[in-house]
């Protein structure tokens, strides 16, 4: 294959140089990767209704915490009541934020809330702004959800069906808490549902209006009380044929009469600076179910990593 020993040596040196160059490129890329998501303040991820921090090997934010940590971020995943009012969940989160600050020695945190987690993090920022550097809502029903309106209207106040449904959902919430290693919080399905109705969200916004858009579908203030506010969402229902939860979201999506992710309309999701609308449904926004998302859209992990880098650039 080689006509002379000289040819063999030349080829060997060439391959050696290529290997060294590849190793250097890998090291440089690895160094950039390692610092890409490093933020000044720790990131705290907040789950939505029926959520958890981790059950077994499954994260609520599936694979996202580790992806952020791989880039250098300090990430904490909070767990509050799976079902409760926005204010009650917010109080539970506030205590955990104080714990994170005590552990890390940081002065503030960057809060990212998905779904009902949006109101949860907004509450903390409103009552303790000195502890919060930024708030990000992902698929947050900031002006309510038509799905919650539908449930509230069809499970009439005082009916036996409403009581049975609430008892079942509360029990489900306790099971979730048990499986994730936390049974400290009570569950209140009715309070959770009421918080996410259009009227319940309006009442919450009247008390905590920070960064809520004043127009029907515009952006809100990007900075309030020194806190930066961001949001993004999805506008699809069916995104992956292998995701068994896409079909229910497609059915529920018909209730909105506008662009939505299955549970929340695009306009309702807006808070502060809107960062975009993506080909994702409500579960895709946290890389669920188990990563079965639209293969032709931006990865949810990428969005969180890009946002961490955005916070880094903003000195947060």
* Burial annotation 56-95 (CB, 10 A radius, 16+ → b, else e): eeebbbbbbbebbeebebbbbbbbbbbbbbbbbbbbbbbe
228 DSSP β-pair partners? 134, 223
Which tokens hold the place of 256?
Answer: 């909105």
The residue assigned the tokens 């961001």 is: 230
265 DSSP β-pair partners? 260
Which tokens hold the place of 171?
Answer: 């029990």
Active site residue: 67, 84, 86, 115, which one?
115
Which tokens hold the place of 30?
Answer: 């690895």
β-pair type (58-59, 54-55): antiparallel
Which tokens hold the place of 75?
Answer: 């990430």
Which tokens hold the place of 142?
Answer: 């900031």
Other beta carbons less than 10 A from residue 148's beta carbon: 25
To the query of whether residue 282 is one of the catalytic residues in this protein, the response is yes
Active site residue: 53, 149, 261, 284, which one?
261
Active site residue: 47, 116, 282, 307, which one?
282
To the query of whether residue 115 is one of the catalytic residues in this protein, the response is yes
* CA 7 to centroid of chain Cα atoms: 57
The residues carrying an active-site annotation are 115, 261, 282
């Amino acid at each position: 294959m080689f006509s002379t020993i000289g040819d063999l040596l030349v080829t060997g040196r060439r391959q050696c140089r290529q290997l060294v160059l590849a190793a250097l490129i890998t090291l440089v890329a690895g160094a950039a990767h390692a610092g890409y998501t490093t933020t000044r303040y720790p990131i705290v991820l907040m789950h939505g209704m029926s959520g958890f921090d981790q059950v077994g090997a499954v994260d609520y934010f599936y694979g996202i915490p580790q992806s952020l940590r791989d880039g250098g971020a300090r990430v904490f995943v909070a767990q509050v009541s799976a079902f409760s009012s926005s204010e009650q969940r917010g109080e539970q989160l506030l205590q955990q934020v104080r714990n994170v600050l005590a552990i890390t020695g940081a002065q503030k945190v960057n809060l990212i809330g998905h779904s009902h987690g949006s109101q949860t993090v907004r509450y903390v920022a409103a009552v303790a702004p000195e502890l919060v550097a930024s708030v990000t809502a992902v698929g947050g029903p900031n002006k309510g959800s038509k799905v919650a309106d539908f449930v509230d209207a069809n499970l009439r106040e005082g009916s036996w069906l409403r009581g049975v449904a609430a008892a079942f959902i509360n029990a489900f919430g306790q099971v979730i808490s048990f499986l994730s290693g936390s049974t400290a919080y009570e569950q209140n399905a009715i309070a959770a549902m009421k918080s996410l109705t259009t009227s319940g969200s309006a009442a919450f916004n009247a008390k905590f209006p920070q960064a809520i858009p004043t127009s029907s579908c515009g952006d809100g203030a990007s900075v309030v009380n020194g806190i930066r506010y961001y949001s993004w969402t999805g506008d699809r229902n069916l995104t992956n044929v292998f995701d068994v939860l896409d079909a229910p979201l497609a059915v529920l999506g018909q209730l909105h009469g506008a662009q939505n992710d299955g549970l929340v309309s695009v306009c309702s999701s807006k808070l502060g600076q809107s960062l975009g609308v993506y080909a994702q449904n409500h579960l895709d926004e946290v890389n669920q179910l188990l990563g079965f998302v639209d293969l032709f859209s931006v990865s949810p992990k990428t969005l969180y990593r890009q946002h961490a880098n955005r916070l880094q650039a903003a000195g947060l």
